[in-house]
Chains A and B, each alone.
Chain A
Amino acid sequence: MTALRPSSTSAAGTAPSTRLAALARRPWGLYAAVAFVALLTVAAIAPQLLATHDPLALDYPLSLHAPSWTNWFGTDESGRDLYSRVIFGARESLLIGLGAAAVGIVLALVLGSLAALAIKPAAVVVDRVVEILFTFPALLLALLLIAISGPSATTEILAVGLGTAPGYARMIRGQILAAKGSAYVEAATALGHSRSRIVFAHILPNALRPLVAVFALSVGQSIVWASSLSFLGLGVAPPSSEWGALLDAGRQYIVQAGWLIVVPGLVIVAVALAATTIGRHLQSYLERGEK
């Protein structure tokens, strides 16, 4: 993995230049990511602590004002403060991302472990089903579900979860198969342990350890997918200040008020980057822990 690795602890009393080098080696990207996620968590739990305005207060004389000292991210077509709307949108956006990632991982877990562990004919069938689902790009699988049940927040969560599941299912299957072929499983089999004990005590704990990292990566991805759906007008509808819905609402003012779309987009990109950074660090941390 190419992400910055956490620095090794430096001994006290080293020369200033080495101390400086150690300081530069610290994972600043990770710190920034964690701080950003913490800030958003506060926004999701208690938005009134961070918001500067009422996110729904209309103020027509102030409509479409560029970012300024009073309105940090500018105002929308009805004079609502964009910064406060972004803050108040955090709860819904994060919940949708978390929900979708959870749906995707659980679905992937079921499909992936069945494909790797079930008795032969069933495993082959599940394996094929995963392969078939994998031929549909995530966005299209999500759109298919929305076409059937109509746009809503719940559909959005299920659709994004369903869309991302096949890819993760493949990964989980690979992990389990690798664990299954390892020496410790062979040893446990030779010791005469029962099949279920081997699966639950040896294979699953080892194969599923990377899932924590994958979940973090998936939350970032899910927020991006979900906001893509809202952006297309097929997810949460505009009166809400979910970030994708903000983008959708800002689209018609792209010529007069580009910030309406640039700023919420930037927030989404930052969340995705933060989730990826945290996920990558978890991944390398867990990989080192195995050795």
Chain B
Amino acid sequence: MTRTSSSSTRAVARQLVRKTLSALVVLWGAATVAFFAQLALPGDRATAILNIRSGQAQLRTPAELAQINEQYGLQRPVIVQYLDYLRGLVGGDFGNSYQQYRPVTAIIGEQLGATLTLSLTAIVFAWVLMVVWVTLTAGRGPRVGALGALVDVVAAGLPAYWLGIILLLVFGLGLRWFPVIGGTGVNGLILPALTLAIPLAGFMSQSTRTEFERALEQPFVISARMRGMSDAGVRLRHVLRHAVIPAVTLSGWALGATLSGAVIVESIFSRPGIGNVLVTAVSSQDLPVVVGIVTLVAVVYVVANLIVDVVYTVVDPRLKAS
């Protein structure tokens, strides 16, 4: 590297600006999809909103319709509604729920904390499971390696609802270690978080294992062994660091995956959270709430990926040149 530090700093800055712009384009697109999804209700929108509220389809009087049209501004041209919606989003306004007569942000705000706690705990659990499992089984000869890889694949493929129920039956009903329904505090969090963490750990292990086995063959590992370092020491101090890089890249994706997995897990364990709100909203066709939550998860996904990208550009000197 013969670059001067100022030109490489400029390259990093340019890279960051480009990535941020591209993330903004994706966010704008996601918001657009979300807006047009709300228009996609079959038939007249005001009638649809009233029918959704009352839960039965019937003809509405013009007076009723006029009130709804007035309230949601439905008589305005679509383009005006669209721009208005975008302006609202920038200011953190997701519109009003059809069913609960409240702003969507208020509904999400009440429940977001519980879901974020669940998601982040699950990601921490997944990392612990993955690191322990891969460090123990990777590069230990064909038999152990094949078993390790098989467990990865099976774990990654387990459907969340079934895993959750098995955990619930074994540890909740059978062993009675954890509360079956709800349960506040740490105790009620462990089983739901594990339900999300096990498939995630299996998924991340697959790429970490490949990288781990590759790193085990590297010269720096051989030199560490020649210095007399123990096998465990080599694995933990040298190999692991290289092996977890692909899993770090998956962090943004993992956050999105756990937030959407929360839909199922919260339903199994009757936990409060945006997943539970989403299921109720989908079955009652409360579109502003559905769209609000879906958009929020998309935003979290894009922003998390942007952060991962930025951290990479700053940390890994090889990416600066490209």
Which A residues are closer than 8 A to B by beta carbons? 2-3, 128-129, 131-133, 135-141, 143-144, 146-151, 220, 224, 227-228, 231-234, 247, 254-255, 258, 261-262, 265-266, 268-269, 272-273, 276
Contact = CB atoms under 8 A, between A and B. Distances in A.
B165 A262 contact: yes
Contact of A148 (B161, B259, B287): B287
B282 A143 contact: yes
B257 A137 contact: yes
Interface string B276-301: 00110111011100110110011001
A123 B25 CA distance: 16
A148 B267 contact: no
Which range holds the interface residue count of chain B?
Answer: 35 or more
Interface string B136-162: 000000000010011011100111111
A269 B156 CA distance: 11
Interface in B237-284: 256-257, 259-261, 263-264, 267, 278-279, 281-283
A248 B165 CA distance: 12
B287 A147 contact: yes
Nearest to B285: A147
B95 to A, nearest CB: 14
Contacts of A132: 26, 29-30, 33
Top 10 A-B residue pairs of the complex, sorted by shortest distance between their CB atoms? A132-B29, A137-B260, A265-B162, A2-B149, A147-B290, A135-B298, A147-B282, A224-B159, A140-B294, A139-B260
Interface string B70-102: 000000000000000000000000000000000
Contacts of B41: 148
Nearest to B168: A254
Contacts of A150: 285
B229 interface: no
Contacts of A220: 157
Contacts of A2: 146, 149-150, 152-153, 206
A178 B158 CA distance: 32
Nearest to A145: B37
A282 to B, nearest CB: 16
B154 A247 contact: no
Residue of A132, A140, A149, A261 with most chain B CB atoms under a 10 A cut-off: A140
Contacts of B160: 228
Interface of B: 25-26, 29-30, 33, 37, 40-42, 146, 149-150, 152-154, 157-162, 165-166, 168-169, 173, 180, 206, 256-257, 259-261, 263-264, 267, 278-279, 281-283, 285-287, 290-291, 293-294, 297-298, 301-302
Nearest to A148: B40
Contacts of A224: 157, 159
Nearest to B301: A135
A133 B29 CA distance: 9
Contacts of B149: 2
Contacts of B33: 132-133, 136
Nearest to A227: B159
A44 B203 CA distance: 31
Nearest to B258: A137
Contacts of A131: 26, 29
Contacts of B25: 128
Contacts of A149: 42
Contact of B37 (A144, A254, A258): A144
A138 to B, nearest CB: 8
Contacts of B259: 137
Contacts of B263: 139-140, 143, 232
Contact of B301 (A137, A148, A258, A262): A137
A232 B276 CA distance: 10
B283 A233 contact: yes
B219 to A, nearest CB: 26
Contact of B159 (A135, A143, A148, A272): A272
B297 A140 contact: yes
Contacts of A233: 279, 283
Given A137-B256, A268-B159, A144 B165 contact: no
Contacts of B159: 224, 227-228, 265, 268-269, 272
Contacts of B293: 140
B123 to A, nearest CB: 15
Given A2-B153, A135-B301, A144 B283 contact: no
A144 B289 CA distance: 10
